[in-house]
Structure 1
Amino acid sequence: MKYISVDNVEPGQHLGKSVYSSNGTVLLSEGVQLTVFMINTLNRIGVTMLYIKDPDFADVDTTDILDEATKQAVFKEMNDTFEAVRSGKDWSTKKISVSADRILSDVLANPELLVQLTDIRTADNQQYVHATNVCLISILIGMNMGLNMFQLKDLAIGAMLHDVGKVGLDSLDEALGGLKGHHTWRGFEVLKSKREFNLLIAHVALQHHERLDGKGLPRALDAHEIHQFARIVAVADTFDNLITGRNGKGLLPHEACEEMMAMSEKQLDRDVLIQFNRIISVYPNGTSVRLSTRETGVVVRQHRGLPGRPVVRVIHGSGDDMEVQEVDLAVHTTVFIEAVLA
């Protein structure tokens, strides 16, 4: 499969990964042959990137850490929870706990896979994809930092619900509400009332926008006052926000990682960033790239611990004259990825 911009998708191509709605139902199934109407609809609902089946790259492994059943279940429970919060109704901490267990189970079953955030985002499902991604990244960082299972469970729930204070709050209301109107305070108030949850979970919502230099929100805490869980979620949240951007115009993963390293010890925790860089895929499988040799190819495999040095498949010619070469950037150390191609 290849991971390409929706602007470059052509009618007749086959979808490589399913597109989900906010409640976990399938909008378009993997394998469907795309029509002009479908492509226009994907553009209209805010989709920017897609996996497309390609016979030259049929063997490219795009396995996600989270399986499809987990994603559907988590999206549904997140949707139900956020809708209850929005309407002022009670919501089930047990369902959120079960969702956290599902994600933890999938992570523990695939501990060697790198995170490749290639789920297809729409305007409808964006907040649930974001919450799930932040949870997934946070768990993997927490595992690398030696957290036990009880700590990982609390971290997972805090990460899933870190933005619950945004539910029903628009940016103008937040700006006019002062510090107590900030979504972090609102999230803290929502979560601390749930006595089934460890109070640390509420503090993740409260502190995930604090900064190590003391210039964060909502309380401008000093570095030593920011809990480890909040530091972890801050890194995961920052990355997912950077690659999403505004109106779908986000940074590429390698650009986001570079920007985040510049935030080290100012906004983000250096030790957390080190672990983050060990679990993230900078160039997801299926991404088209141009090498410093001026050849173009597609990323087909990853090296854990070397996120910037994947294996790139380069194809010369076509038909009977086709020549396939795989360039392992971990071996060919003088070759590097010069650009990502849409």
Structure 2
Amino acid sequence: MRYVNIDDVEAGQFLGKAVYSGNGTVLLSAGVQLTVYMVNTLNRIGVTMLYIQDPLFEDVEAEDILQEATKQTLIHGISDTFEAVRSGKEWNAQKIGTSVEKLLTDIIDNKDLLIELTEIRTVDNDQYVHAMNVCLISTVMGINLGLNYIQAKELAIGALLHDIGKTGLSAEEEIIPGVKNHHTWRGFEKLKNKREFNLLIAHVALQHHERVDGLGIPRGLAGEEIHIYAKIVAVANMYDHLISHLEGGKSLLPHEACEEMMAMSEQQLDREVLIQFTRMVSVYPNGSAVRLSTKETGVVVSQHRGLPGRPVVRIIRNEGNDIDIKEIDLAQETTIFIEGVLA
């Protein structure tokens, strides 16, 4: 598969990875042959990147930590929860707990994989994919930082529900950070009385916009006053926002987002959590087209755990009637670097 910009997708190509609707059902299945109507519709609903099947890269797969069934369960669970909150109904905490247990099982089974956030986003599913991504990143970081299973589950639930306070809240209603109508306070209020949940889960919603330098919201907590769960979710939340829908500008590529976040170390974000984050997120996802310092262009085909910036790149040249294929392992070729991503 190749990971390509929607503007480069042509009718007749085959979809490499499923696209989900807002409630977790499959909108388009992997393997479907795309028509002009489908491509135009995907463009209209906000899709910017797609996985496309390619015979020259048929062995290349996205490094998915989560199974498709787990993703559907998570998105469906968070969709149902937010809809219940929006309509003022009681929501099922047990369903969220079950979804998170499936996520934990997948993470433990795939602990050697790097995180690649390449889920196809639409206007309809963006809020729920964001919640799932933040949950995934946070939980992997938490486990790598030494949390036990119970703590990791608490963190995962808090991460999945960190924005529950935004449900039913317009931007105009949240114009004064720090007051009780801010979504962090609202989220805390919605979660603190859930008997099935530890109170720490509510504090994730309350504290995920605090900064380690004390200049965050809603309470201006600093350093060790901020719980480790919230510090972890703050990093995951920042990364997913930067690569998906940067407010007032263009979304950043994964390696650009990582560079920007490192500049926030010990100001907005916790340094130790950031270091752990950079070790487990893929900055050049499989299928991405890249340009090397040798001026050659190729496609990322595999990753190295612990060296996310040094993947294996496949370069294909057409020489007359022959195709020349070579792979460069950047972990071995230490004088060659990725200069840019070809979106």
TM-score class, shorter-chain normalisation, is over 0.9
Structure 1: 5+ residue stretches without partners? none
3-state secondary structure, aligned to 2:325:
strand
Query: In the superposition, relative to structure 1, how do residues 178 and 111 fare at CA in structure 2: closer, same or farther (>3 Å)?
Result: closer
3-state secondary structure, aligned to 1:10:
coil
For 1:81 and 1:108, how far apart are their aligned partners in 2? 26
Superposition CA RMSD, Å: 1.2
1:237: which partner in 2?
A: 237
Query: In the superposition, relative to structure 1, how do residues 133 and 219 fare at CA in structure 2: closer, same or farther (>3 Å)?
Result: same
Q: Deviations over 1:99-123 (max 9, x none)?
A: 1101101101100011000000000
Alpha-carbon offset, residue 245 of structure 1:
2.0
1:303: which partner in 2?
A: 304
Residues 1:222 and 2:203 aligned together: no
For 2:102 and 2:328, how far apart are their aligned partners in 1? 37
2:340: which partner in 1?
A: 339
2:207: which partner in 1?
A: 207
3-state secondary structure, aligned to 1:181:
coil
3-state secondary structure, aligned to 2:326:
strand
2:186: which partner in 1?
A: 186
Asked if the contact 2:178/2:219 (under 8 Å) is kept, the reply is no
1:119: which partner in 2?
A: 119
For 1:148 and 1:67, how far apart are their aligned partners in 2? 22
For 1:20 and 1:229, how far apart are their aligned partners in 2? 29
- 1:1-342 alignment runs, 5 A limit: 1-176=1-176, 179-246=179-246, 249-317=250-318, 320-342=321-343
For 1:84 and 1:193, how far apart are their aligned partners in 2? 16
Q: TM-score, normalised by structure 1?
A: 0.98
Q: What amino acid sits opposite 2:38 in the alignment?
A: M
Q: What amino acid sits opposite 1:287 in the alignment?
A: S
3-state secondary structure, aligned to 1:123:
coil
Q: Deviations over 1:144-167 (max 9, x none)?
A: 111001100100000000000011
Q: What amino acid sits opposite 1:311 in the alignment?
A: V
3-state secondary structure, aligned to 2:180:
helix
Q: Higher mean Cα deviation, 265-274 or 171-180?
A: 171-180
Q: Deviations over 1:180-202 (max 9, x none)?
A: 11100000000001121000000
Asked if the contact 2:178/2:217 (under 8 Å) is kept, the reply is no
3-state secondary structure, aligned to 1:271:
helix
For 2:241 and 2:85, how far apart are their aligned partners in 1? 23
Q: Deviations over 1:72-106 (max 9, x none)?
A: 11111111100000011100110000011011011
Structure 2: 5+ residue stretches without partners? none
Q: Deviations over 1:256-294 (max 9, x none)?
A: 000000000001011001111111000000000000100
Asked if the contact 2:246/2:252 (under 8 Å) is kept, the reply is no
For 1:299 and 1:5, how far apart are their aligned partners in 2? 15
Query: In the superposition, relative to structure 1, how do residues 38 and 181 fare at CA in structure 2: closer, same or farther (>3 Å)?
Result: same
Alpha-carbon offset, residue 318 of structure 1:
5.3
3-state secondary structure, aligned to 2:152:
helix
What percent of counterpart residues are identical? 67
For 1:316 and 1:233, how far apart are their aligned partners in 2? 43
3-state secondary structure, aligned to 2:175:
helix
Q: What amino acid sits opposite 2:317 in the alignment?
A: H
Alpha-carbon offset, residue 334 of structure 1:
0.9
Alpha-carbon offset, residue 316 of structure 1:
1.1
Q: Higher mean Cα deviation, 314-323 or 297-306?
A: 314-323
3-state secondary structure, aligned to 2:341:
strand
Query: In the superposition, relative to structure 1, how do residues 179 and 318 fare at CA in structure 2: closer, same or farther (>3 Å)?
Result: farther
3-state secondary structure, aligned to 1:249:
coil
For 1:147 and 1:194, how far apart are their aligned partners in 2? 23
3-state secondary structure, aligned to 1:76:
helix
Query: In the superposition, relative to structure 1, how do residues 215 and 178 fare at CA in structure 2: closer, same or farther (>3 Å)?
Result: closer
